[in-house]
DNA sequence: GGACGAAACGGACTGCGGTCCGCTTTCTAT
DNA sequence: ATAGAAAGCGGACCGCAGTCCGTTTCGTCC
């Protein structure tokens, strides 16, 4: 897989250590993280998140079990890592993809596109989010990203009030537990839930 | 404890079986459920929900472990049962306590009282709700009760739209995961969160 | 290249949630 | 009162998440 004819090898980019940054990962550690993430993703694809054990992931990655826990803290942590990876693309679409989801469109249209896709994404990754528990859905990355984005859109729309709180309120009905209840237990069609959310957005934004 | 002089024993109330109702519990089963619930409550009080094991509950109740699972399905089920018991009094206040929480006050005032007390209750039982997982917070009883009540208040307030969905949207920010994030991770003061909720209610109701 | 300290590794081990099945208690019909 | 069936009971047992610590690997400094 490596190129055979390498005439003038590119100098490796040197990672200048940022002051205050945590020390970089050792090479074996990094390699194992990759191996584990891949193994976990594959196993999850095959048997669903619930059917995957930590032992299985360790074995599939050709690594000891202790290593899995060292890298990911817990089962939830591992699931959260996989989840993050799955949602990275969506986040990219929001930040720099084509409108109306990405930048360039009217903020209201962006908000609607955001809500629609967020709802779909959450439902799509439902099992994984469930397995990732607290660590996942509202962990550092994913959650604060959505709040920040919605807060920004609300600002653009000229909404007055406590925006961090309002943004959270607008996002809350899109969280898995609520959607789960409405769609899977109450049996509401997804479209109806979505229309309800748009109505909510209208009332909050004041249109 | 029992009265010693019992002259004319009260006739036991006879439980006439309602048609279509599930068969009544056997006496030993009922006794054990009570024992287990009491034991669990006591242990939780002492060590917090996270520190309580099923074995410990079984032992404290003087009962086999299998019995615990027979009665409550799972650890989450047991926690949910304890939680329900804890919240029963609050539900009673809502349904038939003094205004403004109970009936008799203006619906808007009732809604505000509902939100405030709901927020407090959720925060108060946070650990238990967490341990009760899916089974607990949004289990049959507690959750649908709140939705029904809020939907009723919204009706009284003349709100138009898809009320079941709107009610859910109004309740979502009062769910533990969201409150947890705001209060314990973001560090927002409870009062601020509460004011945010009132603002949300205002926008939904249209005041 | 060698040597040394730090970080990472691996897998045996522990504790807990949940299941299973042979035995006991309760209920009902006679 | 008794017998038979159904429901309940208990605790040994299993699988999996998470820990611990002796061993190995990595990076660095001479």
- Residue in chain B nearest A206 by alpha carbon: B203
Q: Do A188 and B165 touch (CB under 8 A)?
A: yes
Structure tokens at B166: 């709107």
Taking residues B184-207, what's their average pLDDT?
Answer: 96
Query: What pLDDT is recorded for position B36?
Result: 97
Whether the pLDDT of residue A113 is over 80: the answer is: yes
- Residue in chain A nearest B139 by alpha carbon: A181
Structure tokens at B46: 């002492």
Number of neighbouring beta carbons within 10 Å of residue B18: 8
Confidence of residue B4 (pLDDT cuts 50, 70, 90): very low
The answer to whether the C-beta of A67 is closer than 7 A to strand C is: yes
Whether the pLDDT of residue A184 is over 80: the answer is: yes
Contacts of A173 in chain B (CB under 8 A): 168-169, 172
Q: Average pLDDT over chain B, rounded to whole?
A: 89
List the single residue in B138, B192, B199 with the smallest CB-CB distance to A177: B138
Question: From the CA of A126, how many Å to the C1' of C9?
Answer: 33
Taking residues B125-142, what's their average pLDDT?
Answer: 80
More confident residue, B13 or A143: A143
Alpha helices in chain A (DSSP H): 27-47, 54-61, 65-72, 75-96, 107-124, 126-137, 140-156, 163-171, 176-179, 190-205
Q: A8 phi and psi, to 5 degrees? A: -115, 95
The answer to whether the C-beta of A71 is closer than 7 A to strand C is: yes
Q: For residues A169 and B173, is the Cβ–Cβ distance under 8 A?
A: yes
Q: Do B186 and A196 touch (CB under 8 A)?
A: no
What are the pLDDT digits (tens) for B73-92?
Answer: 999 999 999 999 999 999 99
List the single residue in B173, B192, B195 with the smallest CB-CB distance to A172: B173
Whether the pLDDT of residue B5 is over 60: the answer is: no
More confident residue, B3 or A139: A139
CA gyration radius for chain B?
A: 21
Q: A36 phi and psi, to 5 degrees? A: -65, -45
Calpha distance B106→B104 (Å, rounded): 7
More confident residue, B170 or A17: B170
**Nucleotide closest to residue B25 (CA–C1'):** D7
Query: What pLDDT is recorded for position B136?
Result: 61
The answer to whether the C-beta of A191 is closer than 7 A to strand C is: no
Confidence of residue A19 (pLDDT cuts 50, 70, 90): low
Question: From the CA of A37, how many Å to the C1' of D28?
Answer: 30
- Residue in chain B nearest A130 by alpha carbon: B134
Closest CA to A109 of A148, A76, A75, A156: A156
Contacts of A168 in chain B (CB under 8 A): 173, 178, 181-182, 196
More confident residue, B20 or A176: A176
Calpha distance B115→B197 (Å, rounded): 8
Whether the pLDDT of residue A3 is over 90: the answer is: no
Query: What pLDDT is recorded for position B207?
Result: 81
Whether the pLDDT of residue A10 is over 50: the answer is: no
Q: List chain A domain ranges.
A: 27-72, 79-205
More confident residue, A5 or A122: A122
Confidence of residue A11 (pLDDT cuts 50, 70, 90): very low
Calpha distance B1→B22 (Å, rounded): 33
More confident residue, B141 or A58: A58
Whether the pLDDT of residue B62 is over 70: the answer is: yes
Query: What pLDDT is recorded for position B140?
Result: 63
Contacts of A137 in chain B (CB under 8 A): 177
Query: What pLDDT is recorded for position A145?
Result: 94
Taking residues A134-159, what's their average pLDDT?
Answer: 85
Q: Is B116 on the interface with A (CB under 8 A)?
A: no
Q: Which nucleotides of D are covered by protein (CB under 7 A)?
A: 7-13, 15-21, 25-27
Confidence of residue A134 (pLDDT cuts 50, 70, 90): confident
Q: CA dist A107 to A152, A168, A172, B154, Å?
A: 9, 17, 20, 29
List the single residue in B178, B199, B204 with the smallest CB-CB distance to A162: B199
Q: Is B50 on the interface with A (CB under 8 A)?
A: no
More confident residue, B126 or B24: B126
Q: A27-72 in CATH: which number?
A: 1.10.10.60
Q: Is A190 on the interface with B (CB under 8 A)?
A: no
Q: Do B178 and A172 touch (CB under 8 A)?
A: yes
Question: Is domain B28-72 given the CATH code 1.10.10.10 in the classification?
Answer: no
Contacts of B164 in chain A (CB under 8 A): 186, 188
For nucleotide D10, the protein residue with its alpha carbon nearest to C1' is: B64
Question: From the CA of B35, how many Å to the C1' of C23?
Answer: 22
Q: CA dist B97 to A125, B103, B120, B156, Å?
A: 42, 7, 17, 19
> Which position has the token pair 């650890």?
B75
Q: Do A175 and B173 touch (CB under 8 A)?
A: no
Whether the pLDDT of residue A141 is over 80: the answer is: no
Query: What pLDDT is recorded for position A122?
Result: 96
Taking residues B9-19, what's their average pLDDT?
Answer: 43
In this structure, what is the dihedral angle of CA atoms B137, B143, B146, B147, given to the nearest 10 degrees? 130
**Whole-number percent of chain A with pLDDT over 70:** 86
């Amino acid at each position: 897989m490596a190129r055979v004819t390498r005439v003038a090898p590119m100098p490796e980019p040197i990672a200048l250590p940022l002051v205050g940054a945590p020390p970089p990962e050792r090479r074996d550690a990094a390699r194992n993280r990759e191996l584990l993430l891949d193994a976990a993703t594959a196993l999850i694809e095959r048997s669903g998140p619930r059917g995957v054990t930590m032992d299985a992931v360790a074995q599939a990655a050709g690594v000891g079990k202790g290593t899995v826990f060292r890298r990911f803290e817990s089962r939830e942590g591992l699931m959260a890592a996989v989840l993050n990876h799955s949602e990275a693309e969506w986040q990219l679409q929001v930040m720099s993809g084509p409108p109306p989801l990405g930048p360039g469109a009217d903020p209201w249209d962006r908000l609607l596109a955001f809500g629609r896709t967020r709802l779909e994404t959450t439902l799509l990754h439902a099992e994984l989010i469930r397995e990732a528990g607290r660590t996942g859905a509202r962990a550092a990355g994913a959650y604060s990203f959505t709040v920040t984005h919605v807060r920004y859109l609300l600002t653009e729309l000229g909404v007055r009030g406590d925006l961090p709180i309002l943004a959270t309120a607008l996002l809350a009905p899109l969280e898995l537990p609520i959607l789960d209840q409405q769609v899977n237990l109450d049996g509401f069609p997804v479209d109806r839930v979505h229309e309800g959310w748009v109505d909510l957005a209208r009332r909050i934004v004041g249109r």
